[in-house]
A and B are shown apart, each in its own frame.
Chain A
């Protein structure tokens, strides 16, 4: 049975949608299991949009809305950059730019026991993973990956941290490598940590490299791949001359 093209789900995918749009009609799709991600909600037979953004689809059956904000909503499995605010008996209080402070248990480190609890001062920057993120409760973090290994999580020493939108963080983490990072990596050597909560940390041997990388990333949010490459080339030319 042919659907009218305007109501078929494929026409909404990769389009900008706003709250209230009905993107899927379950009565016309028989016997399929659909997984709904963030920004979508089920009202009996209609799937409607709750958050403004782009509707995305991934085979075989996942739909979600992607949008870019300055504020971060904690999700399980995300890797984020947190700043230690306080330390209590059982856990550290970490700010991850979400609605509530997150808890990082003092034992959530590789080989962590009661005898070797790390001492973090207020202001320490950490690369952590979100373990639990239920609405209404404080999120829980961990400095190990799912199997218990340290895997790059932990304190980020030196370097420079700046904030950006969540959309830019996702672009920097996309694969294949984001054009701006590739162009910078060809000429400069630096290390970078990107948090899905809109924080980026850059470290390099010379401060000027750090500044170039940070500025290039901040400028690249609205540029297309080719524009990013051109912007980086121009920036690097200015430095050399």
Chain B
């Protein structure tokens, strides 16, 4: 399929549903009051057609719209993000998402880590204050798009959790187990849900 540098605006018809499949930036909707489904564009940008893999049962090409502003990464359910904890409360912690995978984000995304998503075992006995503190950098998994205010994040795996934290004395802490980190200046031990880095 050839590349078409065709500029489209939201609402433009990209094709019939029987002929093309909607990709990113496109959606299916019935034509006015009829039952015929068409593929419409939802973004303003350049239209691109992708050919289907030869062995899939559905042989329709995929049409997607590349928006001219889409450079920053956007968290998707299932992606691993790096976030900085902003607030710790009794039943949840708020965090600002900074990177999605290897790419940094261009706009502010907020995530929430609920008490039951901090770890996999004994989830009712989790003390949020002993798992995160404001200012910690955590690696988390996006569970879902959540509500209008924030994504839902989870640290319930060995490789997820606090990656870097500062002690009350102001020094960077060194992890010593999956629940403890030690201050490099004073030797005090503080409790966090620590991510397992490396093999």
Chain A: residues with CB nearer than 8 A to chain B? Answer: 41-44, 103, 132, 134, 136-138, 140
B87 x A136 contact (CB < 8 A): yes
Partner of A103, one of B88, B90, B128, B188: B90
Residues on B facing A (Cβ under 8 Å) = 87-90, 128-129, 133-134, 169, 185-186, 188
- Bound-state CA distance A42–B134 (Å) is 21
- Which chain B positions have C-beta within 8 A of A137? 88-90, 128-129
Judging by beta carbons under 8 Å apart, are B186 and A138 in contact? no
Q: Which residues of A contact B188 (CB under 8 A)?
A: 42
Decide if A136 touches B185 in the complex (CB within 8 Å): no
Give the distance in Å from the alpha carbon of A132 to the alpha carbon of B88 in the complex.
13
**When the two chains form their complex, are residues A140 and B169 in contact, meaning their CB atoms are under 8 A apart?**
no
Contacts of B129 in A (CB 8 A): 132, 134, 137
Docked CA distance A137–B89 (Å): 6
Known contacts A42-B188, A43-B169, A136-B88, then 18 further A-B pairs from the complex at CB < 8 Å, ordered by chain A residue: A41-B169, A42-B169, A43-B186, A44-B185, A44-B186, A103-B90, A134-B88, A134-B129, A136-B87, A136-B133, A136-B134, A137-B88, A137-B90, A137-B128, A137-B129, A138-B89, A138-B90, A140-B90
What 9 A-B pairs are tightest by C-beta distance, nearest first?
A134-B129, A42-B186, A136-B134, A137-B88, A137-B89, A137-B129, A136-B88, A44-B185, A140-B90
In whole angstroms, what is the CA distance A42 to B169 when docked? 8
CB distance from B70 to the nearest CB of A (A): 36
Residues of A within 8 A of B185 (CB): 44
Task: Label chain B's interface by main secondary structure.
Answer: loop
Task: Give the A-B pair count, Cβ closer than 8 A.
Answer: 25
Contacts of B133 in A (CB 8 A): 136
Instruction: Give Cα A44–Cα B89 distance, bound, in whole angstroms.
Output: 31
A173 to B133, CA, bound (A): 34
**In the assembled complex, which residues on chain A have CB atoms less than 8 Å from the CB atom of B87?**
136
- For the complex, give the distance between the alpha carbons of A138 and B134 in Å: 14
23 contacting pairs across A/B (C-beta < 8 A):
A41-B169, A42-B169, A42-B186, A42-B188, A43-B169, A43-B186, A44-B185, A44-B186, A103-B90, A132-B90, A132-B129, A134-B88, A136-B87, A136-B88, A136-B133, A136-B134, A137-B88, A137-B89, A137-B90, A137-B128, A138-B89, A138-B90, A140-B90
Closest to B186 in A: A42
Chain B: minimal CB distance from A220 (Å): 37
In the bound complex, what is the Cα–Cα distance between A137 and B91 (angstroms)? 11
Query: How far, in Å, is A76 (CB) from chain B's closest CB?
Result: 11
**Shortest Cβ distance from B129 into chain A, in angstroms?**
4
- Which residue of B has the minimal Cβ distance to A136? B134
Residues of A contacting B169 in the complex (Cβ-Cβ under 8 angstroms): 41-43
Could you say which residues of chain B place their CB within 8 Å of the CB of A44?
185-186
Cα distance, A43 to B129, chains bound together (Å): 24
A137 to B88, CA, bound (A): 6
Nearest B-chain residue to A140, judged by Cβ: B90
Which among B89, B90, B129 has the highest number of chain A CB atoms within 10 Å? B90
What residues of A have a CB within 8 angstroms of the CB of B88 in the complex? Answer: 134, 136-137
CB neighbours of A134 from chain B (8 A) = 88, 129
Minimum Cβ distance to chain A for residue B183 (Å):
10
The interface residues of chain A lying within 8 Å CB-to-CB of B186 are 42-44
| A140–B134 alpha-carbon span in the complex (Å) | 18
Distance (whole angstroms) from the CB of B154 to the closest CB of chain A:
21
**B89: A residues at CB distance < 8 A:** 137-138
List B contacts of A43 (CB < 8 A).
169, 186
- Could you tell me the distance between the alpha carbons of A163 and B133 in the complex, rounded to whole angstroms? 33
Residues in B with CB closer than 8 Å to A41 are 169
Chain B residue with minimal CB distance to A105?
B90
Bound-state Cα–Cα, A44 to B187, Å = 9
Indicate the member of A43, A44, A132, A137 with the most B CB atoms within 10 Å. Answer: A137
Contacts of A140 in B (CB 8 A): 90
Task: Give the CA-CA distance A212 to B88 in the complex, in Å.
Answer: 46
A41→B168 CA distance, assembly (Å) = 10
